[in-house]
Amino acid sequence: MNGPIQVVTRPRWPDVELDVAALRADGWRPTPFRDFVLKVHQRCNLACDYCYVYTMADQSWRDRPMAMVPGTWRAAAGRIADHARDHELPRVRVILHGGEPLLLGVAGLEPLLADLTAAIAPVTALELQLQTNALLLDEPILHLLKYHGVRVGVSLDGTAEANDRHRRYADGRGSSAGVDRALRLLTAPEHRAAYAGLLATVDITQDPVECYDHLRGYAPPVLDFLLPHANWAHPPESRAGAPYGEWLIKVFDLWYAERPQPIRIRLFEDVIRLILGRGGRSEQVGLSPVAVAVVESDGAIEQVDSLKSAYPGACATGLTVFDDPFDAAFGNPGVVARQIGLRALCSTCRSCPLHTVCGAGHYAHRYRAGAGFLNPTVYCADMIKLIRHVITVVSDDVHQRLAVAHRD
């Protein structure tokens, strides 16, 4: 042990009160995992002040191997292939994550990617992705990623000033200049095919128009905005009113007014899809089953790692790729809770007319100490404000288009 002992208090819901056996008896069946996050490196070359891995409740990274070793990733690859075969999945996605996965370097990434491809590609179509702060991106790494068909998602929170307020090196230096250099390399014609998009954490002290304009300047295929990880035990700093909803509305109005939209914004697209009665594709909104499994650097099979923001051990299942198939996770109440849709919502959310769109928000943001996750999101007011606004804008747009079509 090289870190403090963490006392784990299991929440009442779902750990105690969700009866998985009863759900199965009632006809519920799990949705197979399709996304597999491999935590290939536990360290990071940045010290972001909001990081759920290093600055929040769960500190298990301290006790895990610094980097995933070949025996672990081969075991994980074999389990992924077995899962795809058993469930006849047409495709799976493997996301290399950290920490910072590029700390593996070319020497570590090359055998990892080769082994993943060798084990999984004969069974099903394999999509490979890597989420990075981009500071270590260079020509040799990009050529390697291109060879293996890996797409690269980059974390960037907005303008240089805003990004450097939170995404800093341990010595306090900002990272925006390095990310800008890397993105110019990634967006060059010879590498752009590997560009998956940008991931931005909302900072309401940043001007939303400046933020959107800056991020749009990198022409991401997809842009995703994330609310900062917070919950009822550790609420966001700004709780009065709906400041995050108002911030997102300003970006939405700019984006929606553009014809055609120059980039896709996943959160907004998902809200619109859900308003129109279609399924959502992210865990931020909607009631679709979450089909993501995480493999830590020691081979532990875990739930989505954003739960580290809730309490120590929140992600744990007690399973490993050395001993257990991924199907074994479907006996874990936490995993099941992410797949049962409406049945995972508290009475407050069920009675809300927006529940099929909001879906109680991000699961990690529902946590309340002791009680667990059977609560509305701590960003409830923000989600209501955003969704109501999107409904109004889209409805008005449809009516105007119908009126024009009728005149024609």
Q: Which domains does the chain possess?
A: 32-399 (3.20.20.70)
Distance of CA 68 to the CA centre of its chain: 21
Rg (alpha carbons) of the chain, rounded to whole number: 21
Q: What is the pLDDT of residues 320-354, one digit of tens each?
A: 999 999 999 999 999 999 999 999 999 999 999 99
Does 5 have pLDDT greater than 70?
Answer: no
**So what's the pLDDT on residue 331?**
98
What is residue 6's DSSP assignment? -
Distance of CA 376 to the CA centre of its chain: 19
Strand partners, 224: 199
Three-class SS of 275-313: HCCCCCCCCCCCCCCCCEEEECCCCEEECCHHHHHCCCC
Q: What is the pLDDT of residues 214-239, one digit of tens each?
A: 999 999 999 999 999 999 999 998 77
**Identity at 14, one-letter amino acid code:** P
pTM: 0.96
Q: Among 142-146, 216-220, 259-263, where is mean pLDDT lowest?
A: 259-263
- H or E segment at 88? none
Q: Dump the DSSP string for 137-176.
A: --HHHHHHHHHTTEEEEEE--SSHHHHHHHSB-TTS-B-H
**So what's the pLDDT on residue 402?**
85
**So what's the pLDDT on residue 8?**
57
**Identity at 179, one-letter amino acid code:** V
Does 6 have pLDDT greater than 70?
Answer: no
Does 407 have pLDDT greater than 80?
Answer: no
Does 177 have pLDDT greater than 90?
Answer: yes
